[in-house]
Amino acid sequence: MAKKTLGPVRREFTPWEDTAAEPFIEFRNVTKRFGDFVAVDNLSLKIYEREFFALLGGSGCGKTTMMRMLAGFETPTSGQIFLDGQDLAGIPAFRRPSNMMFQSYALFPHMSVENNIAFGLKQDKLPKSEIDDRVAEMLRLTKLEQFAKRKPHQLSGGQRQRVALARSLAKRPKVLLLDEPLGALDRKLREETQFELMALQEDLKMTFLIVTHDQEEAMTVADRIAVMDQGQLVQVATPAEIYETPNSKFVANFIGDVNLIETKVVEASPSQTRLEAMMGGFLIETDQTTSARPGDTVWYAIRPEKVRVAKGKAEPGSVNAVNGPVWDIAYLGDVSIIHAKIGEGDFDTLKSTFANVTRVVEDPITWYDDVVLTFDRNAGVILDR
Amino acid sequence: MRSGPTWFNVTSLVLGFTFLYLPIVILVIFSFNESRLVTVWGGFSTKWYVELFKNKQLLDAAWVTLKVAFLSASIATVLGTMAALVLVRSGRFVGRSLFSGMIFAPLVMPEVILGLSLLLLFVAMDQARGFWTVMIAHTTFAMCYVAVVVQSRLVGFDKSIEEAAEDLGCPPVRSFFLITLPIIFPGVLAGWMLAFTLSLDDLVIASFTTGPGATTLPMKIYSQVRLGVTPEINAICTILVVLVTFGVIAASLASKRQELQRAHDERAAFGAN
Q: pLDDT for B144-195, tens place per residue? A: 889 988 888 888 788 889 999 999 999 989 999 999 998 888 888 888 888 8
B266 touching A (Cβ < 8 Å): yes
B91 contact A CB<8A:
no
Q: From the candidates A67, A74, A94, which should be mutated to test the interface with B, based on the most B CB atoms within 10 A? A: A94
pLDDT at B268: 64
Domain spans, chain B: 57-267
| Cβ of residue A75 closer than 8 Å to a chain B Cβ | no
Write the pLDDT tens digit of every residue in B19-57: 888 888 888 888 888 887 777 788 888 888 888 888 888
User: Residue A39 contacts by C-beta under 8 Å, 6 or more apart in sequence?
Assistant: A32, A33, A62, A65, A231
In this structure, chain B runs to a length of 273
Mutual orientation of helices B231-271 and B181-200 as an angle, nearest 10°? Answer: 160
Q: d(Cα A283, Cα A265) in Å, to the nearest integer?
A: 10
* B132 contacts: CB under 8 Å, gap ≥ 6: none
Q: pLDDT-based confidence at B273, cuts 50/70/90?
A: very low
Q: Which of B164, B169, B171 sits opposite A102 (nearest CB)?
A: B164
As a whole number, mean pLDDT of residues B14-21 equals 89
DSSP string across B158-176: -HHHHHHHHHTT--HHHHI
Cβ-defined contact of B160 to A106 (cutoff 8 Å): yes
Distance CA B209, CA B220 (A): 15
Task: Give the SS3 label for residue A50.
Answer: coil
With a cut of 50, which residues of chain A have pLDDT below it? 1
The reported pLDDT for the residue numbered A1 is 44
Smallest CA-to-CA distance from A189 within A160, A224, A148, A154 is with A160
Report yes or no: A155 at the B interface, CB cutoff 8 Å.
yes
Closest residue, chain A, to B173 (C-alpha):
A94
More confident: B95 or A165:
A165
Average pLDDT over residues B219-225: 84
Please report residues of A whose CB lies closer than 8 A to that of B166. Answer: 72-73, 92-94
User: Residue B261 pLDDT > 70, yes or no?
Assistant: yes
The residue type found at A219 is M
Percentages (nearest 5) of helix, strand, coil residues in chain B: 80, 0, 20
Contacts of B21 (CB under 8 A, 6+ apart): none
Three-class DSSP category at A261: strand
Residue A110 contacts B, CB cutoff 8 Å: yes
**In contact, B102 and B109? CB cutoff 8 Å:** no
Question: A264 near A248, Cβ under 8 Å?
Answer: no
Burial class (CB in 10 A: 0-12, 13-18, 19+), A30: buried
Identify the three-state secondary structure at position B63: helix
Residue-level pLDDT at A96: 93
Instruction: Flag if A95 and B169 touch (Cβ within 8 Å).
Output: yes
Contact call for residues B130 and B210 (beta carbons, < 8 A)? yes
Task: Determine the pLDDT at residue B215.
Answer: 86
Q: Which fold has domain B57-267?
A: MetI-like fold (1.10.3720)
Whether residue A232 contacts residue A221, with contact meaning beta carbons closer than 8 Å, is answered with no
What is the DSSP code (8-state) at residue B114? Answer: H
User: Is A122 strand, coil or helix?
Assistant: helix
Are A51 and A96 a contacting pair, CB within 8 Å?
no
pLDDT at A259: 92
- pLDDT at residue B272 tops 70: no
Chains A, B: CB contacts within 8 A come to: 83
Q: For position B73, what pLDDT does the model report?
A: 92
List the end-to-end C-alpha distance of chain B, in Å, as a whole number. Answer: 39
Other residues' Cβ atoms within 10 Å of the Cβ of residue B124: 8
Q: Are A71 and A60 in contact (CB under 8 A)?
A: no
Amino acid at A238: T
Residues 6+ apart with CB under 8 A from A171: A99, A120, A121, A124, B168, B169
CA B148 from chain center: how many Å?
13
**Residue B3's pLDDT is what?**
65
The pLDDT tens digits for A179-237 are 998 887 888 888 888 998 898 898 888 999 999 999 989 999 999 999 999 999 999 99
A104 touches chain B (CB under 8 A): yes
Long-range contacts (CB closer than 8 Å, 24 or more residues apart) made by A360-364: A363/A311
Residue B270's pLDDT is 57
Strand partners, A212: A56
H or E stretch including A46? strand A37-47
Say yes or no: A188 contacts chain B, CB-CB below 8 A.
Answer: no
Q: How many Cβ atoms from other residues are within 10 Å of residue B10's Cβ?
A: 10
The larger pLDDT score, comparing residue B81 to residue B254, is at B81
Residue among B154, B162, B164 at smallest CA distance from B185: B154
CA distance A154 to chain B (A): 5
- The DSSP result for B174-228, as a single string, is HHIIIIIHHHHHHHHHHHHHHHHHHHHT--HHHHHH--TT---HHHHHHHHHHT-
How far is the alpha carbon of B91 from chain A, nearest alpha carbon, in Å? 13
Residue of A nearest to B273 (CA): A156
pLDDT tens digits for range B115-153: 999 999 999 988 888 888 999 999 988 898 899 888 888
